[in-house]
Chains A and B, each alone.
Chain A
Amino acid sequence: MFSTLLSRYWLLIPILILVVVVVDLIEEAPEIFNVEETINMRETRSDYYMADFRSRKYDKQGQIEYTIRGETLAHYPDNDRSEITAPRVELNREGAQWQIQSDSGTFDTSPDLFTLHGDVIVKRSAADYDPITIRTSTLTVATESNEVSTDAVIEISAPAWRLQATGLKSAIDQGKLSLLSEVTGRYEVPGP
């Protein structure tokens, strides 16, 4: 009886052995079969999304700490980060208004930190001073500590002068800018 079964289904035996070996290999070394790790879809899904939004934060004294506008904002719960397209950040400090825009950016909390990327333009206007424009490719803006900084190449321009450098650190509430290296500049000299 057994021999008849064997003669009829002998071919199953090597197939069964092969299946066991393959299953074992998949568990041991999935990369051999280039098996994609299953991605936990929940982690990359945003929990809220805004379009053409404006958001404002007030400080403890009831003053506006910053205003953020943008085309879209998507918030991700796993790292509490928001991704923003066409962000526009507005800060008012010591009589000066800072308007910062870029192609895209991220926003993290505790502390609040904007990281802006792509054609970053900072426009600073103040009653007592000429307007200043800063251009760079990436910039971080810490709204609570009032620090604006980058490691990238920057250009600062005002009506009568222009400076270029690599790296910037600025305490915008104190009107101070530190240019970290490779500084070049040009000053127009008013006529006599």
Chain B
Amino acid sequence: RENDLAQPIEVQADKSEFDEVAGTQTLTGNVEITQGSMRITADHIAILLKNNALSTITGNGSPIRFEQENEAGELMSGQAERISYDALAGVLTLEGSATLSQPKQELVSERITFNARTQKVSAEGGPKSGRVSIQIQPPTSADE
């Protein structure tokens, strides 16, 4: 949801290292990040501060998992090996065996970018696979 972007970001983890000179806060172990309806779970997350405020989140997991409600209140979920989230622009990028699914649609690609402001999704094939796979379920008679 777009109004997720105005919500504070809450984090939980086993440990954290704060390096003020580098402007980074790393969270390790059972990391969970929530912002409104968005939720990310990972093994390792690095938070980059700009002007002492949260700017971007990057992380990896085995895999890293993401979920968020879209404007229609439907749950979108995805996973990948790596994630980056620009909190100011509201742009989330899933990389490495990335999948993003919402009711009746599933997107599989090397890299998927989702813009929460514009609600637009874009996907790129990676050097290895080079392909983007989209699966859209046909509407059932109940939907018509």
Contact = CB atoms under 8 A, between A and B. Distances in A.
Interface of A: 126, 129-130, 156, 158-161, 163, 165, 174-192
Contacts, number: 88
A183 B12 contact: yes
A186 B9 contact: yes
Contacts of A188: 8, 53-54
Contacts of A192: 5, 88-89
A185 B35 CA distance: 12
A191 B6 contact: yes
B15 A185 contact: no
Contacts of B143: none
B3 to A, nearest CB: 12
A163 B54 CA distance: 13
Contacts of B144: none
B8 to A, nearest CB: 5
B76 to A, nearest CB: 20
Contacts of A190: 51, 53, 88
Contact of A160 (B10, B18, B52): B52
Contacts of A189: 5-9, 35, 53-54, 87-88
A172 to B, nearest CB: 10
Q: Tell me what chain B mostly uses at the interface: helix, strand, loop, or mixed.
A: strand
A179 B20 contact: no
A181 B13 CA distance: 8
Contacts of B88: 189-190, 192
Interface in B85-101: 87-89
Contacts of B51: 190
A94 B53 CA distance: 22
A159 B53 CA distance: 8
Nearest to B35: A189
Contacts of B89: 192
B16 interface: yes
B142 interface: no
B18 to A, nearest CB: 4
B132 to A, nearest CB: 29
B11 A186 contact: yes
Nearest to B11: A185
